[in-house]
Amino acid sequence: MEKKKIRIGNTITEYYFDASLSKLGQVADKKYSVILTDENIFNQYQKSFKGWNTIVLKPGEEYKIQQTADGVIDSLIDMHADRKTTLVGIGGGVITDLAGYVAAVYMRGIRVGFVPTSLLAMVDASIGGKNGIDVGVFKNLVGTIRQPDFLFFDVSLLKTLPEAEWQNGFAEIIKHACIRDAVMFRELAEKNIDWYRMKKAALAALVRRNVMLKTKVVQADETEQGDRKLLNFGHTLGHALENQFELSHGQAVAIGMTYASQLSASMLGFRSAEKVVDLIAKYGLPTFAKFDKVKAFDVLLHDKKRERSEIHYILLQRIGKGVVQTLPISEVKRIIEKF
């Protein structure tokens, strides 16, 4: 297990790479910790939870709501959790988001650590301190930015991850490659999901590369005044689609990245849109989807990230070089409607 101390803002977060869930006790004290997890993880890894205080939630994004947070707070009170307690979120992005959110507000803030178990949570959701809950159709409308005390990466947990969740994770990995890492883009184009699934060392290296890429972006701009916005590549349209159609987050972002690449070609002369689309398709994700554009733009207009009639849109100058552009929504609409 490799330990690395990472400073973001005023917080030091301990990153543990090549860790193993069975060794969690070396990082968190059983007596003073409460684990928050979901039924899928709890059932798969029962042995690892022996002797720990645990709160087990039903799986699913539909439970990432205030009512669930209130239930977790009630359980913490029942367990006599206090300021010495560490909340440890073990699960996908839903669990790490909820754990971070509850830990930020319970007694005005207690220690929190994450053990991400999905690829998406490892490379994206667990990093950067954003946490929160959904309110109605609005994803992550309520929450805080607060860095965790530790992150614990055990890629062997991915053995039990369902196929569709691998694709979700790769959507964010492709996003990272597009905005910041042309070398990784090339590697991804040469390999595929099955190859990474079979090669534990390569998978661990890929996770680590993505963790550090996102960490560097967040370190430079924790509160999203500038370059952290790059991480929204594919997400502006993606979120609008995810809210209305039966799409996973990864699928929605994949379609968002496809259209953002086309916009980049139209507006910045980006020449590799086809390469991006091919890579997205290679990882089992959708590209040009037929969707109700009037409905999608209606949601875009009400997106909480909207600033007046203009919108921050992330475009690509070239592979590995994302840029933040302020565009009139009408212009985005005009170009997207062409496809």
Contacts by 303-307 with C-beta closer than 8 Å and gap 24+?
A: 303/236, 303/239, 303/240, 304/138, 304/141, 305/232, 305/236
Q: Do 161 and 119 touch, CB atoms closer than 8 A? A: yes
**CB neighbourhood size of 83 (10 A):** 10
Of 289-328, which residues contact ligand ADP (CB under 6 A)?
none
* CB 11, min distance to ligand ADP, A: 23
Q: Does residue 31 have an active-site annotation?
A: no
Does residue 274 carry a catalytic annotation?
A: no
User: Which of the ranges 34-42, 228-236, 296-304, 309-317 carries the binding residues for ligand ADP, by CB under 6 A?
Assistant: 34-42
Q: Which of 38, 154, 172, 242 binds ligand ADP (CB under 6 A)?
A: 38
Secondary element (H or E) of residue 12? strand 11-17
How far is residue 12's CA from residue 61's CA, in Å, rounded to a whole number? 29
- Nearer to ligand ADP among residue 69 and residue 125 (C-beta): 125
Give the position of tokens 């109605």: 136
Footprint on residues 124-153 left by ligand ADP (CB under 6 A)? 125
d(CA 259, CA 234): 8
CA distances, 9 to each of 3, 100, 319 (Å):
19, 17, 29
**Binding status of residue 13 toward ligand ADP by CB under 6 A:** no
Q: Is 165 in the site for ligand ADP (CB under 6 A)?
A: yes
Which residues make Cβ contacts (< 8 Å) with residue 223, sequence separation at least 6? 145
* Stretch 69-128 residues interacting with ligand ADP (CB under 6 A): 91-95, 117-118, 120-121, 125
Q: Is 44 in the site for ligand ADP (CB under 6 A)?
A: yes
Site stretch for ligand ADP (CB under 6 A), options 33-41, 75-83, 136-144, 287-295: 33-41
Question: What residues act catalytically?
Answer: 108, 130, 172, 214, 224, 228, 232, 235, 239, 249
For ligand ADP, the binding residues (CB under 6 A) are 38, 40-41, 44, 59, 61, 91-95, 117-118, 120-121, 125, 157-158, 160-161, 165, 168
